[in-house]
Structure 1
Amino acid sequence: MRRRLVLALGLLAVLVALAGCASPFGGGGPDDARLNQNATYDWDTNATTTYDVGRGNFTGILGVENESYVPLYQRSELGTDEPLDVASLRYRYPDNGTVVAPANRSNFHVNATNSRLNVTLPAAGGQVAFTADRPNAKRFAVPMFIDSAHSVEVVLPPQARVGVPLLSKVSPGGSTSRVPEGSDRMLVRWESAERGPILTRYYLARDLLLFGGIGGVLALVGVGGALYYLRQIRVLERRREEIGLDVETETDEFDDDDPPPGMR
């Protein structure tokens, strides 16, 4: 009995250690140096929430109306919520546009739990910005950090596109997409998004050329195979005619109106 108790306690300790390692903060809190890293954000956005998606990271600028608290999180590979590991955290005051980092204000701080990175802002309203890592994959997904319906805009990486159903997916519905003149980056926009997550699965413009080339080759192979098949049928029909086998013709060889063979 004593041995079983020791084994159970050991297993519990291992599970607790694994839970800490699974956290993006390794069981500790967010790194202050990382939160205060230098960064420059374009605060003059055209949407309440704007995400600028890069190859290996993304930036988010959230407009928070009458709110002084924002929970940041992401969905883990196990399907559970975990705190979003952010860097270069900034807040912009709504009245004068002053931008501050957590190190500049004692009332601008973060607190990490098992599922959320709770960001306390120095004032209600304004904008909060951050940078976070992401897998270098053709997919971007992020929860809705603001509860009320608001406009959302996602700036895809260079040459990234959505629009072909088999190669891309955008959720929730009701979005529009366009590529501004003189730019190679597509903008996906929701005028009033209320439910998340925001999801964009995209392809690169060169992928269309690749798949188009593959489709062309397959089409040629299919046409060539069909022509070869028809040619073989014609060859077999001629061989049947040559050896006197029954082959359908325009007039039946044994028409009832004709005399039997040998009596014509």
Structure 2
Amino acid sequence: MNRRFALAVAAIALLAVSAGCLGYATGGGEVTNETLDAEPPHGYDFDTDRDAAFNLTTDARYTVVYAVDDREEIRLYRQTPYAGDQPLEFEAFRYQYPDGEVITGSEFRARGGEIERTTDETWIRFADDMSGGKAAFAGAGSPRRFSMRAYVEGSYAVTLPPQFSTEVPIVGHVSPRDHAVETVGDRDRIVWEEVTSGSIVVQSYREGDLVVFGVILVIGAVAAVAGTLYFRRQLEALRQRRRDLGLGVYEDDDDDDGLL
């Protein structure tokens, strides 16, 4: 039995190692042109003056526009507690030249750009004539809690969906804390003038949710008061039964909130 168990463990370990080697050999999975050329959930804000501008929607999607400036490449990854760095997955890639021309992901590759995914990161590499442009793509991300690594240094902006806010503590949270909130139409936009490392985190709520939270708090408070009154009545009834039975009940029991 022990020998069979050892052989089974060895076989599983061999398969795991083989899978890992295969992952490295194949580059962690190709990013297809079909994925890169997909239609974005909405138009990209190429007019932004931020180095990184995120737009969140209620369908748990985000779009982002990065200023390329003179960068040669951008490394995109997510940190996980157990699996280490994992490649950031995205779609609907677009690149805008400084003159305003916008090309798709497959055209980006055809003109010398590279988009490569390895086992722990995704690389966007720009051709020599692509400095000063902007890169954009879409991915999955909820406005209720949105987190993203600071892949580029500079100014950042996160635009929330309509009727979402971060103003109330506990249900709303923003990091880093040195930020400002702008109102753009019917939407809040969180801005940072300088982010150099780490991550940005935005935890927001729909303003209508505050009514729900308030109702839950009221129900909880009423239940707590009712439970306390019920306990006190049961305690007093027990004391009265002890008196009726002639058992000792001390006068200071009335001030005792503990057990008899």
On whether the aligned pair clears a TM of 0.5, the verdict is: yes
Q: In the alignment, which residue of structure 1 is the partner of 2:155?
A: 151
**What TM-score do you get using the length of structure 1 for normalisation?**
0.71
Match for 2:35: what amino acid? R
User: Is 1:114 the counterpart of 2:122 in the alignment?
Assistant: no
Kindly report which structure 2 residues correspond to 1:223-242, keeping only aligned pairs within 5 A, or say none.
none
Which structure: larger Rg?
Answer: 1
Mark the runs of 5 or more structure 1 residues left unpaired by the alignment.
237-246, 248-264
The offset of 1:118, in angstroms, is 0.7
Name the one with the larger helix percent.
2
The offset of 1:76, in angstroms, is 3.6
The offset of 1:79, in angstroms, is 5.7
Residue by residue over 1:71-116, the C-alpha shift from the partner in whole angstroms, topping out at 9 and shown as x without a partner, is: 122234636221111111111112x121122322331221112221
Q: Which moved more, 1:78-87 or 1:113-122?
A: 78-87
| Counterparts in 2 of 1:16 and 1:142: CA distance versus 1, 3 Å | farther
- Cα distance in 2 between the residues matched to 1:29 and 1:168: 37
Q: In the alignment, which residue of structure 2 is the partner of 1:8?
A: 10
Q: In the alignment, which residue of structure 2 is the partner of 1:91?
A: 95
| Counterparts in 2 of 1:76 and 1:32: CA distance versus 1, 3 Å | farther
The offset of 1:208, in angstroms, is 1.0
Contact 1:101 1:108 in 2 (8 A): no
Contact 2:92 2:105 in 1 (8 A): no
1:57 pairs, out of 44, 61, 68, with 61
User: Is 1:47 the counterpart of 2:53 in the alignment?
Assistant: no
Q: Which moved more, 1:4-13 or 1:153-162?
A: 4-13
The offset of 1:191, in angstroms, is 1.3
Kindly report which structure 2 residues correspond to 1:181-220, keeping only aligned pairs within 5 A, or say none.
181=185, 183=186, 185-219=187-221
| Counterparts in 2 of 1:16 and 1:165: CA distance versus 1, 3 Å | farther
Structural RMSD (CA): 3.6
Contact 1:49 1:62 in 2 (8 A): yes
- Cα distance in 2 between the residues matched to 1:197 and 1:15: 32
**What TM-score do you get using the length of structure 2 for normalisation?**
0.72
SS in 1 for 2:208: helix
SS in 2 for 1:186: strand
- Cα distance in 2 between the residues matched to 1:133 and 1:214: 30
| Counterparts in 2 of 1:19 and 1:208: CA distance versus 1, 3 Å | farther
- Cα distance in 1 between the residues matched to 2:180 and 2:124: 31
